[in-house]
Structure 1
Amino acid sequence: MRFDLTVLLPHLDALLAGVLLTAEVCALGIVGAFALGTGLGLAATTHGWPGRLARFYVDVFRNVPFVVQVFFLYYGLPEVGVYIDAFWTGVMALTLVGGAYASDVVRSGILAIEPGVVEAARVSGLSRLSIFRRIVLPIALRTALQPLGSVFVNLVLSSSILSMITLDEVTGAARGVAAETYRPFEVYAFLLVAYAGLTYAVSLGVGALHRRLNRHLVAGGRA
Protein backbone atom coordinates (compact mmCIF):
# COMPACT_ATOMS: atom_id res chain seq x y z
CA MET A 1 0.00 0.00 0.00
CA ARG A 2 1.29 3.43 -0.95
CA PHE A 3 1.36 6.05 1.81
CA ASP A 4 -0.81 8.90 0.54
CA LEU A 5 -1.81 11.77 2.82
CA THR A 6 -3.88 13.35 0.06
CA VAL A 7 -6.69 10.95 0.95
CA LEU A 8 -7.16 13.03 4.09
CA LEU A 9 -7.72 16.32 2.28
CA PRO A 10 -11.50 15.94 1.89
CA HIS A 11 -11.72 15.18 5.62
CA LEU A 12 -9.21 17.72 6.87
CA ASP A 13 -11.88 20.08 8.21
CA ALA A 14 -13.36 17.31 10.37
CA LEU A 15 -9.94 16.26 11.67
CA LEU A 16 -8.89 19.83 12.49
CA ALA A 17 -12.24 20.45 14.19
CA GLY A 18 -11.50 17.38 16.31
CA VAL A 19 -8.08 18.76 17.22
CA LEU A 20 -9.66 22.08 18.23
CA LEU A 21 -12.32 20.34 20.31
CA THR A 22 -9.65 18.27 22.05
CA ALA A 23 -7.67 21.43 22.78
CA GLU A 24 -10.75 23.13 24.23
CA VAL A 25 -11.81 20.29 26.51
CA CYS A 26 -8.22 19.71 27.67
CA ALA A 27 -7.57 23.41 28.34
CA LEU A 28 -10.67 23.65 30.53
CA GLY A 29 -9.86 20.33 32.19
CA ILE A 30 -6.31 21.43 32.96
CA VAL A 31 -7.47 24.71 34.50
CA GLY A 32 -10.05 22.83 36.57
CA ALA A 33 -7.55 20.17 37.62
CA PHE A 34 -5.04 22.80 38.69
CA ALA A 35 -7.62 24.67 40.80
CA LEU A 36 -9.01 21.50 42.35
CA GLY A 37 -5.56 20.00 42.89
CA THR A 38 -4.35 23.14 44.62
CA GLY A 39 -7.29 23.09 47.03
CA LEU A 40 -6.97 19.38 47.71
CA GLY A 41 -3.19 19.63 48.10
CA LEU A 42 -3.57 22.35 50.71
CA ALA A 43 -6.30 20.42 52.53
CA ALA A 44 -4.19 17.25 52.53
CA THR A 45 -1.46 19.01 54.54
CA THR A 46 -3.90 19.79 57.36
CA HIS A 47 -5.06 17.63 60.24
CA GLY A 48 -8.64 16.71 60.99
CA TRP A 49 -11.49 16.00 58.60
CA PRO A 50 -10.33 18.28 55.72
CA GLY A 51 -7.10 16.31 55.38
CA ARG A 52 -8.83 12.95 55.69
CA LEU A 53 -11.47 13.94 53.14
CA ALA A 54 -8.84 15.16 50.66
CA ARG A 55 -6.81 11.97 50.99
CA PHE A 56 -9.95 9.85 50.59
CA TYR A 57 -10.84 11.74 47.41
CA VAL A 58 -7.37 11.20 45.97
CA ASP A 59 -7.42 7.49 46.80
CA VAL A 60 -10.80 7.03 45.11
CA PHE A 61 -10.05 8.86 41.88
CA ARG A 62 -6.54 7.47 41.51
CA ASN A 63 -7.73 3.89 41.91
CA VAL A 64 -10.75 3.89 39.60
CA PRO A 65 -10.12 3.56 35.83
CA PHE A 66 -10.68 6.82 33.98
CA VAL A 67 -13.04 5.17 31.51
CA VAL A 68 -15.25 4.01 34.40
CA GLN A 69 -15.39 7.56 35.75
CA VAL A 70 -16.37 8.89 32.33
CA PHE A 71 -19.08 6.26 31.87
CA PHE A 72 -20.47 6.95 35.35
CA LEU A 73 -20.73 10.69 34.66
CA TYR A 74 -22.22 10.31 31.19
CA TYR A 75 -24.36 7.19 31.47
CA GLY A 76 -24.85 6.77 35.21
CA LEU A 77 -25.83 10.24 36.41
CA PRO A 78 -28.84 10.54 34.05
CA GLU A 79 -30.39 7.64 35.98
CA VAL A 80 -30.68 9.96 38.99
CA GLY A 81 -31.82 12.95 36.95
CA VAL A 82 -28.46 14.62 36.29
CA TYR A 83 -27.84 15.25 32.60
CA ILE A 84 -24.52 16.64 31.34
CA ASP A 85 -23.61 16.83 27.66
CA ALA A 86 -20.55 15.04 26.32
CA PHE A 87 -18.33 18.14 26.20
CA TRP A 88 -18.88 19.15 29.82
CA THR A 89 -18.74 15.53 30.92
CA GLY A 90 -15.26 15.43 29.41
CA VAL A 91 -14.23 18.64 31.15
CA MET A 92 -15.60 17.39 34.47
CA ALA A 93 -13.94 13.99 34.16
CA LEU A 94 -10.54 15.50 33.34
CA THR A 95 -10.93 17.99 36.19
CA LEU A 96 -11.83 15.34 38.76
CA VAL A 97 -9.11 12.84 37.89
CA GLY A 98 -6.51 15.53 37.15
CA GLY A 99 -7.23 17.23 40.46
CA ALA A 100 -6.51 13.97 42.30
CA TYR A 101 -3.10 13.59 40.68
CA ALA A 102 -2.27 17.29 40.85
CA SER A 103 -3.07 17.41 44.56
CA ASP A 104 -0.24 15.01 45.39
CA VAL A 105 2.19 17.19 43.47
CA VAL A 106 0.98 20.40 45.15
CA ARG A 107 1.01 18.70 48.54
CA SER A 108 4.63 17.64 48.01
CA GLY A 109 5.53 21.20 47.00
CA ILE A 110 3.94 22.59 50.17
CA LEU A 111 5.64 20.04 52.42
CA ALA A 112 8.99 20.86 50.81
CA ILE A 113 8.84 24.44 52.12
CA GLU A 114 11.19 25.10 55.01
CA PRO A 115 9.15 25.42 58.24
CA GLY A 116 11.22 28.44 59.22
CA VAL A 117 9.86 30.40 56.27
CA VAL A 118 6.27 29.99 57.45
CA GLU A 119 7.21 30.66 61.07
CA ALA A 120 8.94 33.88 60.09
CA ALA A 121 5.81 34.98 58.23
CA ARG A 122 3.67 34.25 61.28
CA VAL A 123 5.97 36.20 63.54
CA SER A 124 5.74 39.16 61.17
CA GLY A 125 1.99 39.26 61.77
CA LEU A 126 0.69 37.99 58.44
CA SER A 127 -2.68 36.25 58.47
CA ARG A 128 -2.97 32.58 57.48
CA LEU A 129 -4.60 33.58 54.20
CA SER A 130 -1.81 36.06 53.40
CA ILE A 131 0.84 33.48 54.28
CA PHE A 132 -0.74 30.98 51.93
CA ARG A 133 -1.33 33.45 49.09
CA ARG A 134 1.97 35.35 49.26
CA ILE A 135 4.42 32.74 50.50
CA VAL A 136 3.26 29.13 50.57
CA LEU A 137 1.51 28.94 47.18
CA PRO A 138 4.18 30.78 45.11
CA ILE A 139 7.01 28.71 46.60
CA ALA A 140 5.09 25.44 46.25
CA LEU A 141 4.22 26.18 42.62
CA ARG A 142 7.85 26.81 41.72
CA THR A 143 8.64 23.36 43.05
CA ALA A 144 5.57 21.60 41.70
CA LEU A 145 5.10 23.19 38.28
CA GLN A 146 7.26 20.83 36.23
CA PRO A 147 5.77 17.67 37.80
CA LEU A 148 2.35 19.22 37.21
CA GLY A 149 3.30 19.42 33.54
CA SER A 150 3.43 15.62 33.43
CA VAL A 151 -0.04 15.47 34.98
CA PHE A 152 -1.38 17.88 32.35
CA VAL A 153 0.21 15.93 29.51
CA ASN A 154 -1.40 12.74 30.81
CA LEU A 155 -4.77 14.51 30.83
CA VAL A 156 -4.36 15.31 27.14
CA LEU A 157 -3.57 11.66 26.43
CA SER A 158 -6.47 10.46 28.57
CA SER A 159 -8.87 12.70 26.64
CA SER A 160 -8.83 10.15 23.81
CA ILE A 161 -11.22 8.05 25.91
CA LEU A 162 -13.86 10.77 25.57
CA SER A 163 -14.57 9.55 22.05
CA MET A 164 -16.40 6.67 23.76
CA ILE A 165 -19.15 9.04 24.94
CA THR A 166 -19.88 10.40 21.44
CA LEU A 167 -17.60 13.43 21.79
CA ASP A 168 -16.10 14.05 18.35
CA GLU A 169 -12.69 15.06 19.61
CA VAL A 170 -9.70 14.18 17.47
CA THR A 171 -9.74 10.44 18.24
CA GLY A 172 -13.45 10.19 17.51
CA ALA A 173 -13.05 12.20 14.32
CA ALA A 174 -10.14 10.01 13.23
CA ARG A 175 -12.11 6.82 13.79
CA GLY A 176 -14.92 8.18 11.65
CA VAL A 177 -12.57 9.18 8.84
CA ALA A 178 -10.77 5.82 8.98
CA ALA A 179 -14.09 3.98 8.67
CA GLU A 180 -15.09 6.14 5.72
CA THR A 181 -11.82 6.12 3.79
CA TYR A 182 -10.52 2.63 4.65
CA ARG A 183 -7.10 4.27 5.08
CA PRO A 184 -6.34 3.76 8.78
CA PHE A 185 -2.58 4.10 8.33
CA GLU A 186 -2.75 7.70 7.09
CA VAL A 187 -5.55 8.63 9.47
CA TYR A 188 -3.82 7.34 12.57
CA ALA A 189 -0.50 8.80 11.43
CA PHE A 190 -2.31 12.15 11.51
CA LEU A 191 -3.61 11.26 14.99
CA LEU A 192 -0.09 10.51 16.22
CA VAL A 193 1.11 13.89 15.01
CA ALA A 194 -1.93 15.65 16.49
CA TYR A 195 -1.39 14.26 19.99
CA ALA A 196 2.35 14.88 19.79
CA GLY A 197 1.62 18.51 18.89
CA LEU A 198 -0.93 18.96 21.68
CA THR A 199 1.28 17.46 24.37
CA TYR A 200 4.29 19.42 23.11
CA ALA A 201 2.25 22.62 23.33
CA VAL A 202 1.38 21.81 26.95
CA SER A 203 5.04 21.11 27.74
CA LEU A 204 6.10 24.38 26.14
CA GLY A 205 3.48 26.31 28.10
CA VAL A 206 4.50 24.75 31.41
CA GLY A 207 8.19 25.34 30.64
CA ALA A 208 7.55 29.01 29.82
CA LEU A 209 5.56 29.49 33.03
CA HIS A 210 8.25 27.74 35.05
CA ARG A 211 10.92 30.05 33.65
CA ARG A 212 8.75 33.07 34.39
CA LEU A 213 8.15 32.04 38.00
CA ASN A 214 11.85 31.38 38.52
CA ARG A 215 13.26 34.30 36.55
CA HIS A 216 14.45 36.04 39.71
CA LEU A 217 16.48 32.93 40.64
CA VAL A 218 18.10 32.88 37.20
CA ALA A 219 18.85 36.61 37.43
CA GLY A 220 20.31 36.14 40.91
CA GLY A 221 22.51 33.29 39.69
CA ARG A 222 23.84 35.41 36.84
CA ALA A 223 24.50 38.26 39.18
Structure 2
Amino acid sequence: MPFDLTVLTPHLDALLAGAALTAEVCGLGIAGAFALATMLGLAAVGESWAGRLARLYVDVFRNVPFVVQVFFLFYGLPEVGVYIDAFWTGVLALGLVGGAYGSDVVRSGILAIEPGVVEAAKVSGLSRLAIISRVVLPIALRTAIRPLGSVFVNLVLSSSILSMITLDEVTGTARGVASETYRPFEVYAFLLAAYAGLTYAVSLAINALHRRLNRHMMTSRTAGKGA
Protein backbone atom coordinates (compact mmCIF):
# COMPACT_ATOMS: atom_id res chain seq x y z
CA MET A 1 0.00 0.00 0.00
CA PRO A 2 1.67 3.28 -1.11
CA PHE A 3 2.38 6.07 1.34
CA ASP A 4 -0.41 8.65 0.94
CA LEU A 5 -0.79 11.56 3.35
CA THR A 6 -3.96 12.70 1.61
CA VAL A 7 -5.85 10.06 3.60
CA LEU A 8 -5.35 12.35 6.61
CA THR A 9 -7.07 15.33 4.99
CA PRO A 10 -10.55 14.64 6.44
CA HIS A 11 -9.00 14.23 9.90
CA LEU A 12 -6.45 17.03 9.74
CA ASP A 13 -8.50 19.45 11.85
CA ALA A 14 -8.82 16.87 14.63
CA LEU A 15 -5.11 16.02 14.51
CA LEU A 16 -4.08 19.67 14.60
CA ALA A 17 -6.50 20.32 17.46
CA GLY A 18 -4.94 17.42 19.34
CA ALA A 19 -1.45 18.83 18.71
CA ALA A 20 -2.58 22.25 19.93
CA LEU A 21 -4.05 20.70 23.08
CA THR A 22 -0.79 18.85 23.70
CA ALA A 23 1.15 22.10 23.29
CA GLU A 24 -1.19 23.87 25.72
CA VAL A 25 -1.06 21.23 28.46
CA CYS A 26 2.71 20.91 28.07
CA GLY A 27 3.24 24.68 28.14
CA LEU A 28 1.30 25.05 31.38
CA GLY A 29 2.91 21.94 32.83
CA ILE A 30 6.40 23.22 32.02
CA ALA A 31 5.63 26.60 33.60
CA GLY A 32 4.44 24.86 36.76
CA ALA A 33 7.44 22.52 36.74
CA PHE A 34 9.85 25.44 36.46
CA ALA A 35 8.26 27.30 39.38
CA LEU A 36 8.15 24.18 41.55
CA ALA A 37 11.69 23.13 40.62
CA THR A 38 12.97 26.56 41.64
CA MET A 39 11.24 26.46 45.02
CA LEU A 40 12.25 22.86 45.74
CA GLY A 41 15.82 23.47 44.60
CA LEU A 42 16.16 26.45 46.93
CA ALA A 43 14.69 24.50 49.84
CA ALA A 44 16.71 21.32 49.21
CA VAL A 45 20.01 23.17 49.61
CA GLY A 46 19.40 23.66 53.34
CA GLU A 47 19.25 21.15 56.18
CA SER A 48 16.09 22.55 57.76
CA TRP A 49 12.77 20.70 57.89
CA ALA A 50 11.87 22.38 54.59
CA GLY A 51 15.00 20.99 52.97
CA ARG A 52 14.31 17.48 54.23
CA LEU A 53 10.69 17.72 53.06
CA ALA A 54 11.80 18.90 49.62
CA ARG A 55 14.24 16.00 49.26
CA LEU A 56 11.54 13.55 50.36
CA TYR A 57 9.18 14.97 47.74
CA VAL A 58 11.82 14.52 45.04
CA ASP A 59 12.54 10.94 46.11
CA VAL A 60 8.84 10.02 46.04
CA PHE A 61 8.05 11.50 42.63
CA ARG A 62 11.24 10.26 41.00
CA ASN A 63 10.62 6.69 42.12
CA VAL A 64 6.96 6.33 41.13
CA PRO A 65 6.08 5.71 37.44
CA PHE A 66 4.50 8.73 35.78
CA VAL A 67 1.49 6.71 34.63
CA VAL A 68 0.79 5.70 38.24
CA GLN A 69 0.89 9.36 39.31
CA VAL A 70 -1.54 10.29 36.53
CA PHE A 71 -3.94 7.47 37.44
CA PHE A 72 -3.80 8.43 41.12
CA LEU A 73 -4.69 12.04 40.35
CA PHE A 74 -7.45 11.23 37.86
CA TYR A 75 -8.96 8.04 39.25
CA GLY A 76 -7.80 7.96 42.86
CA LEU A 77 -8.51 11.46 44.13
CA PRO A 78 -12.25 11.36 43.25
CA GLU A 79 -12.59 8.57 45.84
CA VAL A 80 -11.80 11.15 48.53
CA GLY A 81 -13.93 13.89 46.99
CA VAL A 82 -11.30 15.67 44.87
CA TYR A 83 -12.30 15.95 41.22
CA ILE A 84 -9.93 17.34 38.56
CA ASP A 85 -10.77 17.18 34.86
CA ALA A 86 -8.44 15.46 32.41
CA PHE A 87 -6.82 18.67 31.14
CA TRP A 88 -5.87 20.02 34.55
CA THR A 89 -4.88 16.55 35.73
CA GLY A 90 -2.37 16.54 32.89
CA VAL A 91 -1.07 19.99 33.74
CA LEU A 92 -0.77 19.09 37.43
CA ALA A 93 0.89 15.74 36.78
CA LEU A 94 3.47 17.24 34.42
CA GLY A 95 4.16 20.10 36.83
CA LEU A 96 4.61 17.82 39.83
CA VAL A 97 6.95 15.32 38.19
CA GLY A 98 8.83 18.01 36.26
CA GLY A 99 9.34 19.97 39.46
CA ALA A 100 10.84 16.88 41.13
CA TYR A 101 13.35 16.21 38.35
CA GLY A 102 14.08 19.88 37.74
CA SER A 103 14.75 20.63 41.41
CA ASP A 104 17.94 18.55 41.36
CA VAL A 105 19.17 20.61 38.43
CA VAL A 106 18.41 23.90 40.19
CA ARG A 107 19.96 22.62 43.41
CA SER A 108 23.16 21.67 41.57
CA GLY A 109 23.31 25.11 40.00
CA ILE A 110 22.97 26.75 43.43
CA LEU A 111 25.64 24.54 44.99
CA ALA A 112 28.02 25.45 42.15
CA ILE A 113 27.96 29.15 43.11
CA GLU A 114 31.14 30.36 44.75
CA PRO A 115 30.50 31.00 48.47
CA GLY A 116 32.29 34.30 48.23
CA VAL A 117 29.63 35.64 45.86
CA VAL A 118 26.88 35.12 48.41
CA GLU A 119 29.03 36.48 51.23
CA ALA A 120 29.73 39.63 49.23
CA ALA A 121 26.00 40.09 48.68
CA LYS A 122 25.38 39.77 52.44
CA VAL A 123 28.10 42.29 53.23
CA SER A 124 26.54 44.74 50.77
CA GLY A 125 23.41 44.77 52.94
CA LEU A 126 21.01 42.95 50.64
CA SER A 127 18.10 41.16 52.28
CA ARG A 128 17.78 37.37 52.09
CA LEU A 129 15.02 37.67 49.49
CA ALA A 130 17.08 40.08 47.40
CA ILE A 131 20.12 37.80 47.56
CA ILE A 132 18.04 34.87 46.32
CA SER A 133 16.24 36.76 43.56
CA ARG A 134 19.07 39.00 42.37
CA VAL A 135 22.18 36.90 42.98
CA VAL A 136 21.59 33.21 43.64
CA LEU A 137 18.88 32.36 41.11
CA PRO A 138 20.27 34.35 38.14
CA ILE A 139 23.69 32.73 38.57
CA ALA A 140 22.30 29.24 39.18
CA LEU A 141 19.98 29.38 36.17
CA ARG A 142 22.81 30.31 33.83
CA THR A 143 24.27 26.85 34.28
CA ALA A 144 21.02 25.01 34.98
CA ILE A 145 18.88 26.18 32.08
CA ARG A 146 20.18 23.67 29.51
CA PRO A 147 19.76 20.63 31.78
CA LEU A 148 16.30 21.96 32.66
CA GLY A 149 15.58 21.99 28.95
CA SER A 150 16.17 18.23 28.85
CA VAL A 151 13.68 17.82 31.71
CA PHE A 152 11.09 19.89 29.83
CA VAL A 153 11.59 17.94 26.60
CA ASN A 154 10.99 14.72 28.55
CA LEU A 155 7.77 16.23 29.91
CA VAL A 156 6.54 16.77 26.35
CA LEU A 157 7.33 13.15 25.51
CA SER A 158 5.68 11.92 28.72
CA SER A 159 2.50 13.82 27.87
CA SER A 160 1.53 11.01 25.48
CA ILE A 161 0.45 9.03 28.55
CA LEU A 162 -2.33 11.55 29.15
CA SER A 163 -4.36 9.95 26.37
CA MET A 164 -5.01 7.17 28.89
CA ILE A 165 -7.20 9.49 30.98
CA THR A 166 -9.49 10.47 28.09
CA LEU A 167 -7.61 13.66 27.20
CA ASP A 168 -7.93 14.19 23.44
CA GLU A 169 -4.32 15.22 22.97
CA VAL A 170 -2.41 14.34 19.82
CA THR A 171 -1.56 10.72 20.72
CA GLY A 172 -5.12 9.82 21.64
CA THR A 173 -6.47 11.57 18.56
CA ALA A 174 -3.95 9.82 16.31
CA ARG A 175 -4.89 6.44 17.76
CA GLY A 176 -8.56 7.12 16.98
CA VAL A 177 -7.79 8.25 13.43
CA ALA A 178 -5.60 5.19 12.82
CA SER A 179 -8.39 2.83 13.88
CA GLU A 180 -10.85 4.68 11.65
CA THR A 181 -8.73 4.95 8.51
CA TYR A 182 -6.72 1.72 8.80
CA ARG A 183 -3.69 3.79 7.74
CA PRO A 184 -1.46 3.66 10.84
CA PHE A 185 1.72 4.41 8.91
CA GLU A 186 0.56 7.84 7.72
CA VAL A 187 -1.15 8.65 11.02
CA TYR A 188 1.84 7.81 13.16
CA ALA A 189 4.16 9.57 10.73
CA PHE A 190 2.13 12.69 11.51
CA LEU A 191 2.44 11.89 15.21
CA LEU A 192 6.23 11.58 14.92
CA ALA A 193 6.38 14.94 13.19
CA ALA A 194 4.11 16.54 15.80
CA TYR A 195 6.27 15.48 18.74
CA ALA A 196 9.46 16.37 16.88
CA GLY A 197 8.05 19.85 16.27
CA LEU A 198 6.96 20.30 19.89
CA THR A 199 10.28 19.19 21.36
CA TYR A 200 12.19 21.30 18.84
CA ALA A 201 10.14 24.34 19.87
CA VAL A 202 11.04 23.70 23.52
CA SER A 203 14.73 23.35 22.59
CA LEU A 204 14.66 26.63 20.66
CA ALA A 205 13.04 28.42 23.61
CA ILE A 206 15.65 27.02 26.01
CA ASN A 207 18.52 28.03 23.71
CA ALA A 208 17.11 31.55 23.44
CA LEU A 209 16.76 31.79 27.22
CA HIS A 210 20.28 30.43 27.69
CA ARG A 211 21.68 33.11 25.38
CA ARG A 212 19.74 35.80 27.22
CA LEU A 213 20.92 34.68 30.66
CA ASN A 214 24.53 34.41 29.48
CA ARG A 215 24.62 37.41 27.14
CA HIS A 216 27.13 39.28 29.29
CA MET A 217 29.55 36.33 29.13
CA MET A 218 29.16 36.09 25.36
CA THR A 219 29.78 39.82 25.04
CA SER A 220 32.94 39.50 27.15
CA ARG A 221 34.25 36.67 25.01
CA THR A 222 33.59 38.61 21.82
CA ALA A 223 35.35 41.65 23.24
CA GLY A 224 38.30 39.48 24.30
CA LYS A 225 38.68 38.00 20.84
CA GLY A 226 38.51 41.47 19.29
CA ALA A 227 41.32 42.65 21.55
The TM tier, using the shorter chain, reads over 0.9
Say how many residue pairs are matched: 223
2:176 maps to which residue? 176
2:219 maps to which residue? 219
| Alpha-carbon shift at residue 45 of structure 1 (Å) | 0.3
Give deviations 1:23-48, integer Å, cap 9, x for gaps.
00000000000000000000000112
> TM-score, length-normalised on structure 2?
0.98
2:144 maps to which residue? 144
| Alpha-carbon shift at residue 63 of structure 1 (Å) | 0.3
Give deviations 1:53-89, integer Å, cap 9, x for gaps.
0000000000000000000000000000000000000
2:22 maps to which residue? 22
1:76 maps to which residue? 76
Aligned 1:2-151 pairs, distance under 5 A: 2-151=2-151
Give, as a single letter, the amino acid of the residue that structure 2 aligns with 1:167.
L
**Do structure 1's residue 190 and structure 2's residue 190 form an aligned pair?**
yes
**RMSD of equivalent CA atoms:** 0.4
- Write the distance in 1 (CA, Å) between the matches of 2:44 and 2:102: 12
| Alpha-carbon shift at residue 188 of structure 1 (Å) | 0.3
| Alpha-carbon shift at residue 162 of structure 1 (Å) | 0.1
SS in structure 2 opposite 1:82? coil
| Alpha-carbon shift at residue 124 of structure 1 (Å) | 1.1
- Write the distance in 1 (CA, Å) between the matches of 2:27 and 2:165: 19
- Write the distance in 2 (CA, Å) between the matches of 1:108 and 1:79: 38
- Write the distance in 2 (CA, Å) between the matches of 1:102 and 1:108: 10
Give deviations 1:160-200, integer Å, cap 9, x for gaps.
00000000000000001001001001000100000000000
Identity of aligned residues (%): 83
- Write the distance in 2 (CA, Å) between the matches of 1:173 and 1:113: 46
Give, as a single letter, the amino acid of the residue that structure 1 aligns with 2:119.
E
Instruction: Identify unmatched segments of 5+ residues in structure 1.
Output: none
Instruction: Identify unmatched segments of 5+ residues in structure 2.
Output: none
SS in structure 1 opposite 2:113? coil
| Alpha-carbon shift at residue 222 of structure 1 (Å) | 1.1
- Write the distance in 1 (CA, Å) between the matches of 2:212 and 2:75: 42
| Alpha-carbon shift at residue 221 of structure 1 (Å) | 1.0
Give deviations 1:107-129, integer Å, cap 9, x for gaps.
00000000000011111111111
SS in structure 1 opposite 2:64? coil
Give, as a single letter, the amino acid of the residue that structure 2 aligns with 1:40.
L
SS in structure 2 opposite 1:17? helix
Give deviations 1:129-185, integer Å, cap 9, x for gaps.
110010000000001000000000000000000000000000000001001001001
